[in-house]
Amino acid sequence: MDSTRQKKVNRLLEKEISQIFIQEARVLTLGTMVSVSKVRISPDLGMAKVYLSIFPSKNAANVIEEIKTKGGLVRKALGMKAGKQLRVIPDLQFFLDDSLDYLENIDRLLKE
């Protein structure tokens, strides 16, 4: 169960990281559309898991690896944006959110 503080930080990080991906899209996303679907922060606010939806999903593995290698740039930009609101900028871990692919697969199976 997340505390109220964790929920507020989750929303803040989701909003700010989304803005970073919009502004730095060419450098980070290899020409694909990336959206932040969910952010989960640890209870000590030191680690954040960022779940990303990538479209088109055929080269999602390459894009997520590129984002992981440039995660320091994302964290630095996050520090510039949210540094006044957070005491410590959390370490970021990026994960692929494949829930949309899963839903499409279920729809396809139900139509058969």
pLDDT tens per residue across span 68-77:
998 999 999 9
Q: What is the pLDDT of residue 18?
A: 93
Beta carbons within 8 Å of 42's beta carbon, 6+ residues apart: 48, 90
Per the structure, the count of domains in the chain is 1
Residue 46, pLDDT above cutoff 90: yes
Cross-strand pairs, 40: 49
Question: Token pair of 53, please?
Answer: 């939806």
User: What span, in angstroms and rounded, lies between the C-alpha atoms of 7 and 1?
Assistant: 10
Beta carbons within 8 Å of 80's beta carbon, 6+ residues apart: none
Q: What is the pLDDT of residue 99?
A: 76
Give me the CATH number covering residue 77: 3.30.300.20
User: Whole-prediction pTM value?
Assistant: 0.85
For residue 99, CA distances in Å to 5, 54, 60 come to 27, 11, 13
32 three-state secondary structure: coil
User: What span, in angstroms and rounded, lies between the C-alpha atoms of 14 and 10?
Assistant: 6
Specify the DSSP element, H or E, that contains 61: helix 60-69
End-to-end CA distance of the chain: 39
> What residue numbers bound the domain in which 35 lies?
4-111
Question: Token pair of 26, please?
Answer: 């060419």
